[in-house]
Structure 1
Amino acid sequence: MHGDRYATDAHKFYTIVFKYSSVPLDWDSHFFALRQIAKSNDKQLSSMFTKDDYERISSVDLRTSPLQSDCASANLLKGVPTGARLPSFHGGYAIVYGINDDGCSACVTTRRESGSYSKASQFVDAVRQSLRRLVRILQT
């Protein structure tokens, strides 16, 4: 009986944390949904969705993920498993990452039919270079 109460309390706490911390930062999925709803109803898009900055940032989804599987976690770095997801934007990339005391791991995905598919390895190389630069900065 106590287990049910703890599960309920944990769920309530998770809901509060998710509502007040994750959701406001989850710009990509929510903006993507609003944009798709407007487009599917033949509504004019707000200028917010047509600015160059939005177009550029909406092409990359950056997430931590609780999803783990042998398939999605095949690319482990120092034993840090990550999940995987598809990008919201057809020409974009999704980066799911995990970090622990021993290292970090990331899974970069793109849609095969998108124009970004052929550039995925270049994107991964750019991510690696950026992470190496961050490490050098943190070590100084």
Structure 2
Amino acid sequence: MAAPTKIARLALKYGPVVYTLAQKYGPQVAEQLLRQREPAQRLVSAQRGRTSARRLALRHADSVVDGSLQQVFHAGEAYWVVFSRNEPVGSHPHTNIPYESLLLNADPLRRVRPEELRRTVHLPRRGRR
């Protein structure tokens, strides 16, 4: 750790330079930070929307008779289509696109039950000593 006298000497030497640069470039730096923040927030909210749609689809598939679900893509967006027996009953996130166009090129063999799709991690238990 630096001695307090050395820190004070450096502050006196470089303080005015740092102060003038902060006055000159401070607003530009603050604006740049705010600009870079918006794309990151959009990415995080989009990711949160995708995971909540998956969670809602799992919950919906649990609530119907012989529920299963399948992830399909339409116009670059991911949708979870929920089935009851072999009939589509819902999609998450909700869309007005008909099920026929969502499932046009979908493989029915890729449909899964909610139990198979849940992400569960089984960690080994610590042994008692």
Larger Rg: 2
Which structure shows the higher helix fraction? Answer: 2
